[in-house]
Amino acid sequence: MIRVEGTRENNYLNSRLVLLPSLSPSPTTPSISKYVALLPLAGFIRRLLTLSLSLQVLHQTLAMCGIFGYCNYLKDKNRKELLEILCNGLARQEYRGYDSAGLGIDGDKPGEIIYFREVGKVAGLRKRIAESNIDTTKVVTSQVSIAHTRWATHGPPSTINCHPIRAGSSDDFIVVHNGIVTNAAALRQVLQRRGYKFETDTDTEAVAILTKYVWDSQPDKRLTFVELIKTVLKELEGSFAFVFKSTHFPNEIVTARRGSPLLIGVKTDKKLKVDFVDVEFSGADADTKVVDTLAPPTSPTSHLTPPSLGPKISRRHSRNFIAEDGTPQPIEFFIASDASAIVEHTKRVLYLEDDDIARIADGQLHIHRLRRDDGQVDTPAKRSIETLEMEIAAIMKGKFDHFMQKEIYEQPESVVNTMRGRVNFDDYKVTLGGLRSYLHIMRRGRRIVFCACGTSYHSALATRAIFEELTEIPVSVELASDFLDRKTPIFRDDVCIFVSQSGETADTILALRYCLDRGALCIGVVNTVGSTISRETHCGVHINAGPEVGVASTKAYTSQYIALMLLAIQLSEDRISFTERRNAIIDGLRALPGQIKTVLALDTSLREFATGVLANSRSLLLMGRGYQHATCLEGALKIKEISYMHSEGILAGELKHGPLALIDENMPVIIIMTQDSLYPKVQSAFSQITARKAQPIVICNDGDDGIQQGVKTIRVPRTVDALQGLLNIIPLQLLSYHLAIKNGFDVDFPRNLAKSVTTE
């Protein structure tokens, strides 16, 4: 084994280059480790260091690709149907952000793979398929095929860099990949020295060629597909999800994940005999092991989870997917990065855990574990097949022009869904069932720490004041990346709340694991059932906002805001002195959906602001105080990411400490002056900016007579101060939408952004 040591600042250099650790190469094929030992070490390290730094920069990019795979067994499908399923699967994941798309299916000859790749949107891929001369009438009974939308990190968007990626010039192994392999440069260099030729600039190709190298190195000891992939994965560093297909293993597919989401949908004509799949562990007893479903899981939360009440069942039964009458049955499997790509086919899904390796062949699904020597806690010994709650209609645009517009207008319904079953408006009672067993621990906590990124961070910031007021516990709100950079002290009596719409945000997940290691109570507030954060936290709240299919998380903000507000109310229910305050907030929540509809009726006037007052502006300042500071930050973020206009949210109390220098007659300003306890202080800020010739747009309450004549206003209904930000943010969402449309930008696919950030 060779280990290249480096400084702590260059952690990449600590990655190992130990290939084939459990295999002995043939005498004529020296191992890669031996070959590396022959390299001039000093020059090798220098080149690695340079590549390391560039990879660390790449690792900060928003790499959110979309994976889709389809397998059918004893189910007739013609090629036209296959291609349509693959393209639809990619189209359902377009919101994740991508710059090229591709797919690979079986050809007419044994071992032949047909590729379609296109830079740009899935629509372009469909056009390329339509223009080809492929025989779309050919019917297959069993097959596997894979598809991918790529977000460029290693190499520019091009057809050659588009996935699926093959092993150099060979179709022996093809791969689709989400994430980044951080030691790909070292692997590439070593494999090139071994004589392998690379066609692309991608890190994925290093994985494909490494797979071929392992296969070629063992002509006398043929591995199974799973054994082969396990050997490869042990040499990889980074965050990724893979789907492998090989001509050596027809009609067989292997998937693996570490840090990037991956799930498998199952569709059958008859009811399945079991609704879970056992994990097959390596070792002598792997095939004979019987899972005792009375035993508690060995997850980080095992001491908190009651054992399931079910009979012992042999491993064989759970993986064959036989019908209740014991006969094999036609079956389809759908592999995807996101449930939205699967829901039109089936609602029965299985979420893979980190270091799971799933093999699909002959209508069977097997799940294996990659046993890594990193001391991590074992995960549960089975994967449940869950039922999706979303509907296909919920991820279609319907009557709206864009997904973002649809999500803005869905907010009256989404906030109701967040409160449904949790708020009893008659008894003024809030019940969050997922937290019931942990409320006493939370109330005894000495500190509440919110950890989030982007919009989720703003929703936490918006509710910090009400948490401090109702619980009288100190609250800090942390950006997950900065929280990790500082190695923030966390103690066992801290309560850490992790907010993420997708539940897969990389920085937030790393912060969660950091806090778990230090013994803190960890709570998740997410929208995606089965996501990493929802599985790894001790308890949590699903915000129930419904599926989001635009990059701009508009309804996520309002639903997260409400979910956190409900959490604060429930935490304080043991304090009689706050009863009146809690009741006032609950009354405000009851009126909220109708008030949001009132604000949405301002759409036409907001369009006029976008095409008139702000039409030619290059910058925009938004300012407010107290609860409205978070509103300004979130509004500025939406305007930035959708309309590409520079915008900045400013705490009005800091106006005299620098930002006032920017104010003149040419600087557009939006100031939030809704009536709360800080209203007089915001009036003072208004006076300061108008004295310097600013002509602000004022967001104020209906019936507020304190606004001077001639001032441009956006009037919204008045509600309790802690909820006012929910109404104030909606005009800013609409404004960002209209600014983008005016300039001809695609609001559903803003440049350089992805829906869920799964790399650091």
Active site positions, annotated: 65
**Cβ contacts of 288 within 8 Å, gap of 6 or more:** none
* CA torsion through residues 742, 744, 748, 752, sign: negative
CA atoms lying within 13 Å on the CB side of residue 466? 30
**Rounded distance, CA 693 to CA 700, Å?**
20
**Rounded distance, CA 632 to CA 647, Å?**
10
**Rounded distance, CA 504 to CA 526, Å?**
9
CB 628 within 8 A of CB 636: no
**Rounded distance, CA 325 to CA 652, Å?**
70
**Rounded distance, CA 256 to CA 179, Å?**
12
CB 275 within 8 A of CB 293: no
468 sits in which H/E element: helix 454-471
Using alpha carbons, select from 229, 267, 231, 273 the residue that is nearest to residue 248.
229
CB 350 within 8 A of CB 269: no
**Rounded distance, CA 441 to CA 495, Å?**
8
**Amino acid making up residue 525:** V
Place of tokens 């300004």: 632
**Rounded distance, CA 138 to CA 758, Å?**
38
Strands 646-651 and 669-672: unpaired
Which three-class secondary structure state does DSSP give residue 209?
helix
CB 639 within 8 A of CB 610: no
Which pairs with CB-CB distance under 8 Å and at least 24 residues apart come from 112-121?
112/171, 113/166, 113/171, 113/174, 113/245, 113/247, 115/164, 117/159, 117/162, 117/163, 118/159, 118/162, 119/157, 119/158, 119/159, 119/162, 121/94
Place of tokens 């597919």: 253
